[in-house]
Amino acid sequence: DIQMTQSPSTLSASVGDRVTITCRASQSVSLWLAWYQQKPGTAPKLLIHKASTLESGVPSRFSGSGSGTEFTLTISSLQPDDFATYYCQQYSSFSLYTFGQGTKLEIK
């Protein structure tokens, strides 16, 4: 099974900060990596797929990079609406998708 490990688990930052969240896979997932944002009481929202492709309607301050086993999600200038929990997910194998454990982005 492919394990996904996110770091950090919690991140405290201020409006305007640049933040980066890392996701590591236990084996290569090529580019088949997505990032989701989730706010309390709501369904996850897809931000980025195929490691770096921004979903339609997602602000350009979000960006993704990486391939193989190491990936990053960067928010270039945090806005108040960005404080949420972020999850990576690999979808390289039909038989098993896996989520990271999540990174909670908090206001400092």
Residues in touch with another protein (CB under 8 A): 1, 32, 34, 36, 38, 43-46, 49-50, 55, 85, 87, 89, 91-92, 94-102
Compare residues 30 and 77 and give the one whose CB is closer to another protein. 30
Tokens of 46: 């897809």
Compare residues 15 and 96 and give the one whose CB is closer to another protein. 96
Radius of gyration of the chain (CA): 13
How far apart are alpha carbons 35 and 94 in whole angstroms?
18
Compare residues 53 and 77 and give the one whose CB is closer to another protein. 53
Pairing label, strands 103-107, 85-90:
antiparallel
How far apart are alpha carbons 70 and 78 in whole angstroms?
23
